[in-house]
Structure 1
Amino acid sequence: MKGYTKQQLALRNGQDKPEIWVAYKGIIYDVSISRLWKNGKHYEHWAGQDLTEELEDAPHTANVFLKFEPIGQLI
């Protein structure tokens, strides 16, 4: 799996580049197909970030990431 830095992830925020990516536990997921991530925002969360710590407060579990393709590792 290809490695990406936090800076590279930050560019995939749905605004700087067309891709919408988020990271969770070191894995980067492409959430571009999700209507819930339109324009790179999901409620109070922004794409292009590591959401590992923020998931603790989410109304869903980490299983939500099973819907999305893992495209790389956060290095």
Structure 2
Amino acid sequence: MKTYTRQQLALRNGQDRPEIWIAYLGVIYDVSDSRLWKNGKHYEHWAGQDLTEELADAPHTEKVFVKFNSVGHLIE
């Protein structure tokens, strides 16, 4: 699987490029087709970021990620 830096992930924010990606626990997910991520925003969260620490405040669990395709791994 491909690897991406934080800078590369940041470009997939729904604004700079058409892809809408987020990362969780080092895995990058493509949420472009989700109606909840239109324009790269999901409530107070923005795409193109690692949302691992923010999941604790979400009304859902990490099981939500099974709906989305993983496109790569986030490297530091």
Aligned equivalent of 1:70: 70
5+ residue gaps, structure 2: none
Aligned equivalent of 1:22: 22
Count the aligned residue pairs: 75
Which 4+ stretches in 1 moved above 2 angstroms? none
Q: TM-score, normalised by structure 1?
A: 1.00
Shift of 1:24: 0.1
Q: Deviations over 1:4-29 (max 9, x none)?
A: 00000000000000000000000000
5+ residue gaps, structure 1: none
Percent sequence identity is 80
Per the alignment, in what secondary structure is the counterpart of residue 39 of structure 1?
helix
Per the alignment, in what secondary structure is the counterpart of residue 17 of structure 1?
coil
Per the alignment, in what secondary structure is the counterpart of residue 33 of structure 2?
coil
Q: TM-score, normalised by structure 2?
A: 0.98
Shift of 1:44: 0.0
Per the alignment, in what secondary structure is the counterpart of residue 66 of structure 1?
helix
